[in-house]
């Protein structure tokens, strides 16, 4: 079910419209768009990854919020919720962007999240954030795709990620501070 859009002021103005629509990408969710008046946003990226892709020629953008590196341990869950896992969510993200006219060789990939859940790296028993980043890098490398920029890791760090469909600009909010990725 698509997330309900929220209208927010355009800061900074990148489209001819005075307002822009934010479309929320939930946990274990993927959204794609070719509407230059939209921004895709996902919240609470801790050990999860936000994977943003943009084709500047086709003006297509997509955002994926994955929780775990692989769905191999639960094939039924991977089938029902492919966006939950790196190994099934990333192919889904790219295929949905291709459906709107994007091409792999033009895709710009930006990534955020992958934080440690413990007080430090040693206290993070399952290392989900680190494993998510490694699974993503391996999958992209196997398919000839490079990560253009990233903000990953950190200890108990939560990030909000916005992707501007018109420009491909990615804004992060970490500990109340916004920056461009």
Q: Report the catalytic residues.
A: 48
d(CA 93, CA 29): 10
Q: How many CA atoms lie within 13 A of 97 on its CB side?
A: 30
d(CA 165, CA 38): 6
| Secondary element (H or E) of residue 87 | helix 86-99
∠ at Cα 96 (94, 102), nearest 5°? 65
Q: What does the DSSP assignment read for 92-138?
A: HHHHHHHHTT--GGG-EEEEEE--BSSSSGGG-SS-HHHHHHHHHHH
């Amino acid at each position: 079910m698509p997330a309900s859009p929220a209208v927010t002021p355009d800061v900074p103005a990148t489209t001819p419209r005075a307002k822009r629509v934010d479309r929320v990408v939930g946990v274990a969710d993927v959204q794609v768009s070719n509407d230059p008046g939209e921004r895709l946003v996902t919240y609470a990226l801790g050990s999860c990854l936000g994977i943003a892709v943009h084709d500047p020629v086709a003006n297509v953008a997509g955002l994926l919020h994955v929780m775990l590196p692989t769905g191999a341990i639960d094939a039924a869950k991977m089938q029902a919720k492919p966006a939950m896992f790196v190994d099934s969510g990333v192919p889904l993200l790219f295929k949905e962007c291709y459906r709107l006219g994007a091409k792999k060789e033009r895709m710009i990939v930006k990534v955020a999240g992958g934080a440690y859940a413990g007080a430090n790296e040693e206290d993070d028993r399952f290392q989900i954030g680190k494993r998510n980043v490694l699974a993503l890098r391996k999958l992209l490398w196997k398919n000839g795709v490079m990560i253009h920029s990233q903000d990953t890791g950190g200890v108990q760090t939560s990030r909000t990620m916005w992707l501007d469909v018109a420009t491909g600009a990615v804004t992060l909010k970490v500990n109340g501070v916004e920056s461009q990725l």
